Amino acid sequence: MHVKVLTFGPLAEEIGEREKTLEILPNSSIRFVLEEIGIESWLTKGLVISLNGVKVGEDEPVNDGDEIVLLPPVSGG
């Protein structure tokens, strides 16, 4: 299975790219994808996750061809 992951801001900087295609195992969850990329620690920092345009949680199952968008928390001043 393949999924596309889009990241922004500091997340993109951390993984070194804004768009990444991953090959994952069937029955994987969002959390598994985050662990594969190495950014699961962002779950405790207010990460917003969108799966095919719908806001979801970390336990949401992922299917072949899905698009996952990861939005870091917004801070301002």
Sheet bearing 48-51, strands edge to edge: 19-23, 2-7, 67-71, 48-51, 54-56
Does the global pTM surpass 0.85?
A: yes
The residue whose two tokens read 């620690």 is 41
Quote the CA–CA distance of 63 and 22 in Å, as a whole number.
Answer: 12
Strand partners for 49 = 56, 70
Checking if the pLDDT of 35 tops 60, the result is yes
Domains and CATH numbers, the chain: 2-71 (3.10.20.30)
How far apart (Å, rounded) are the C-alpha atoms in residues 23 and 48? 22
The pLDDT-based confidence of 74 (bands split at 50, 70, 90) is confident
